[in-house]
Amino acid sequence: MIFLKNIYKQFQNGDEVVTAIDDVSLTINENEFVAIMGTSGSGKSTLMNVLGCLDTPSNGQYHLDGHDVAQLDDDKLSQIRNKYIGFIFQTFHLLPKLDVIGNIKLPLRYSDVAPDEAQARTLALIERVGLSHRKHHKPFEMSGGQRQRVAIARALVNQPSVILADEPTGNLDSKTSEEIMALLTELHQQGQTIVMVTHEQEIAEYAQRIIRMKDGQIIEDSAA
């Protein structure tokens, strides 16, 4: 599903070149649930951006679901993101003027899915994440956990190959965090590939596999 070989990501900072990812090679198979951990500055967020086709590596190979995406231009990267990747963010990134249906359906505006099919998928996902009673509510009318459920449904609506979750419980209390992780675990058990960035050990342990980063490199890759 995901294949990285000798990936580097460097940034120019004045006269200095900063290496955020330093010779990372990594394979993630279909239906794996992987957590990536590391302190601030470890490279985990930069790696997530590369995995999500939000940024391109300075060097190295990246194949996503059989597609060579390492050096694609912005338009091609956007197409790959929309078709193959579902994103879940710590801060939800819901549009405040849209209700639950509108937020979940939003990614389908940029696809060739017919309107009837888009509506059917959206309503099915609303039921799947337990929000049928909230489908006409807007984000400000819902709790943090409910908003994250909307974000998870939105991530699934394009039927992506992989879900990338960036600190998905970072803004939630412990009880709500457990509910969201139970939902992600259920999705994984149903066949979804999930890659999650977290700084919380107890959250990482929901995954099958934990990758630890330091100074832009993978220093540990082990079963959870």
pTM of the entire structure? 0.91
Using alpha carbons only, how large is the chain's radius of gyration in Å?
Answer: 17
What would you measure as the largest C-alpha separation in the chain, in angstroms? 56
> What confidence tens digit (pLDDT) does each residue in 35-69 have?
999 988 899 999 999 999 998 999 999 999 888 99
| CA separation, residue 186 to residues 75, 151, 191, 199 (Å) | 33, 16, 9, 21
| Domain containing residue 84: CATH number | 3.40.50.300
> What confidence tens digit (pLDDT) does each residue in 98-126 have?
999 999 999 998 788 899 999 999 999 99
Q: Domain count for the chain, please give it.
A: 1
> What confidence tens digit (pLDDT) does each residue in 167-197 have?
999 889 999 999 999 999 999 999 999 999 9
Per-residue pLDDT band for 137 (boundaries 50, 70, 90) equals very high
Domain that holds residue 120: 2-223
Q: How far is CA 21 from the centre of its chain?
A: 19
